[in-house]
Chain A
Amino acid sequence: ELKVEQNPLFLSMQEGKNYTIYCNYSTTSDRLYWYRQDPGKSLESLFVLLSNGAVKQEGRLMASLDTKARLSTLHITAAVHDLSATYFCAVPRAPGATNKLIFGTGTLLAVQP
């Protein structure tokens, strides 16, 4: 059974600092998704990583995928308060499948001024 684990589960960081959120998954997958969820809101798509070695950047966030290690990272550069949210990674249940995403438990990021 596919398991998707994120760490840390909670991250409190100061503005201006850098940090990385990790997403490990237990079986082969050819793609990985990162989502952001603000309190009381729905999920917003951040990145879709489609191949080994894929790296995508948007503002202060950069995501990468290593399919051999079954690991994705979401790196935060010079954090600002607006980045405070819960971040989820998600992996399709089977390679090539587009449905039935298995979500990680989420990382609650709190950026302190």
Chain B
Amino acid sequence: GAGVSQSPSNKVTEKGKDVELRCDPISGHTALYWYRQRLGQGLEFLIYFQGNSAPDKSGLPSDRFSAERTGESVSTLTIQRTQQEDSAVYLCASSLELAGKYEQYFGPGTRLTVT
């Protein structure tokens, strides 16, 4: 079946502009995660959505970052007034989160370059 998809695959923006990144999780997956991966580094957790519960925003690096999710479907990550340090690959993952089914499935990522 279809996996996690993200758009755009690449985004180049000027410093100070706002950007929106989109994630379509696997159908039926109740949990959705956003991560950031800077060049040559591991993944940093940003935000977690689970069903209708309040999202866990504890990983968002600043108030310029926000994310929304509509029900158990699409999510958008918004970065306002982008800075050069925001340049990274933003990865989305989804999971079923039933007993024994905790595996996270990752999308291809959006490579964000802030000039």
Instruction: Point out residues on A near B: beta carbons under 8 Å.
Output: 31, 33, 35, 41-45, 48, 50, 88, 90, 93, 98-106
Contacts and interface: CB of A to CB of B under 8 A. Distances in A.
A100 B33 CA distance: 8
B75 interface: no
Contact of B48 (A44, A88, A99): A99
B26 interface: no
Most chain-A CB neighbours within 10 Å: which of B42, B91, B102?
B42
A98 B95 contact: yes
21 contacts: A31-B102, A33-B103, A41-B108, A42-B91, A42-B106, A43-B91, A45-B104, A50-B100, A88-B42, A98-B95, A99-B33, A99-B50, A100-B48, A100-B58, A101-B45, A103-B43, A103-B44, A104-B42, A105-B41, A106-B41, A106-B42
B102 A102 contact: no
B97 interface: yes
B45 A100 contact: yes
Contacts of B105: 45
Given A99-B33, A99-B50, A100-B56, A42 B109 contact: yes
Contacts of B104: 33, 45, 101
